[in-house]
Structure 1
């Protein structure tokens, strides 16, 4: 008859067997206490800059800005104040002339909902490249669904 050693026995774990898992609850408690102490001891940083700001409201400008309307219709035709432009070169020539003025006009770009994106993007890119700085897209509420 052969005897088996207790080590060779691979049956279910006994109740009196030692646990090999680490109890992390005390470690977490200590870390939370240290975190709270750190938060309490850090001084509150006040980042403020004292400025003497002017009071009152500035008077409204007496001069109304000139408005230049550029429309892009549903067929992606560019209209300069209602006049259809046939080429992009014509658009850029007119934009360059307006950009050279001492007081630039406000450019109101009104694209139609069905206009091709490439045409509208080309108009904006030309205006930026040629130096027009007062550009706004008007009528964007038509794109909200």
Structure 2
């Protein structure tokens, strides 16, 4: 094994303390080129444009229906109309009744507009199975509600845009 020594003005030889960085730079450039070629091959996606999400303040109107859905014991679904627990049949009946009352209140189906059409707001527990929330959405759509939305809790320290 050899060691390079540098010339000194004196008679003594001093070991060189410089590191040869050329091989290190060569290896890094080769790795950079490999990653630049490999990354587009690894990341294969279908080009889509995702929707821009913003926090919208919920406007609560008296004609809106508020449902709470959560998973119960044994895989059962618990649905609450306001604070009252309801079965699937009761949910459908109450939904039809609420929609009929709103139609009568505005003077008929022809007088329903986007502004006075009641909405369904569903609050679902984060651990609720999809079948429970999907069943509530389906039942309310079957009752005749065209607008069904979800109430969620925004991330902390995020302002509405």
Q: TM-score range by the shorter chain?
A: 0.3 to 0.5
Q: TM-score, normalised by structure 2?
A: 0.43
Larger proportion of strand: 2
Q: TM-score, normalised by structure 1?
A: 0.47
Greater gyration radius:
1
